[in-house]
Amino acid sequence: MIYVNVDKKNELITSFTMDGHADFAERGSDLVCAGASSIAYGMINAISEAEGFDPVVEEDEGYLHYSVPAEFIKKEAVQILLTGMVNQLRSLAYSYPDHIKINSK
């Protein structure tokens, strides 16, 4: 199971963590893991490109943590991208409820 935790402060997304494996298929062939990873890394890269900085992530096998740099949290474009990411992950979780769970605090 992939667990996604989205942290918010004053309704603004400040960070997120993805942890675990979907176990939908063999590692390397798991479309749910690939989809979740693609969504998350795509948004991290989109934020970095839009705002002009290199992303800083914590990662290990089956683990990803991203914190939005403090000076970019209130930027509308950053929040739009993060909200889009959460909505895409929710769509994936809707289609594969036994393989990915989203928690937004």
Selecting among 8, 21, 75, 90, the annotated active-site residue is 21
User: What's the pLDDT tens digit per position in 42-101?
Assistant: 999 999 999 999 898 999 989 999 999 999 999 999 999 999 999 999 999 999 999 999
Q: Tell whether pTM > 0.85.
A: yes
Residue 77 is a catalytic residue: no
User: What's the pLDDT tens digit per position in 1-57?
Assistant: 999 999 999 999 999 999 999 999 988 889 999 999 999 999 999 999 999 998 989
Residues whose CB falls within 8 Å of the CB of residue 11, separated by 6 or more in sequence, listed in order: none
Quote the domain boundaries for residue 63. 2-104
Residue 33 is a catalytic residue: yes
Nearest one of 51, 53, 54 to 76, comparing CA atoms: 51
Selecting among 4, 6, 32, 33, the annotated active-site residue is 33
Looking up residue 34, the CATH number of its domain turns out to be 3.30.70.1490
- The CA R_g of the chain, rounded to the nearest whole Å, is 13
* Count of domains observed in the chain: 1
